[in-house]
Amino acid sequence: EVQLVESGGSVVRPGGSLRLSCTGSGFTFDDFGMSWVRQAPGKGLEWVSSINWNGGITSYGDSVKGRFTISRDNAKKSLFLQMNRLGAEDTALYFCARGELYFDYWGQGIPVTVSS
């Protein structure tokens, strides 16, 4: 059974940083690209970032470009999202998802709240 489990969510002050992690199991992690998608409270889905199978190709949504960095450690079957210069607009539930283009398995999400 494919499972994706996110961790690292927290309450952080505006301008602060946070690193999210996602651990995959039940599939060959380094066979797949991975992504982060977020959902602000009561809002729709927003694509954040994607990374290919070996980390050599990354892409970002316009709203996070230059502030967020996606990376992965295939030996640890883990995906990461380093988030810097956080603002209130980054408050959301962050989902880890399998796939670089479309997303066929999702974690349950981890909340990130940016508030003073």
Partner 1 sequence: EIVLTQSPGTLSLSPGERVTLSCRASQSVSSDSVAWYQQKPGQAPRVLIYGASSRATGIPHRFSGRGSGTDFTLSISRLEPEDFAVYYCQQYGSSRSFGQGTKVEIK
List contacts with partner 1 (CB under 8 A): 35, 37, 44-47, 50, 59, 61-62, 95, 101-104, 106-109
Least distance between partner 1 and beta carbon 80 (Å): 19
Least distance between partner 1 and beta carbon 81 (Å): 15
CB 98 within 8 A of CB 26: no
Nearer to partner 1, 21 or 59 (CB): 59
Nearer to partner 1, 24 or 107 (CB): 107
Least distance between partner 1 and beta carbon 14 (Å): 26
Least distance between partner 1 and beta carbon 102 (Å): 4
68/114 Cα distance (integer angstroms): 15
Q: Which residues contact 42 (CB under 8 A, 6 or more apart)?
A: none
Nearer to partner 1, 43 or 76 (CB): 43
Distance between alpha carbon 78 and the CA centroid of its chain, in Å?
11
Nearer to partner 1, 31 or 104 (CB): 104
Q: What is the dihedral of CA 55, 108, 99, 30, to 10 degrees?
A: 50
**Parallel/antiparallel/unpaired status of strands 18-25 and 3-7:** antiparallel
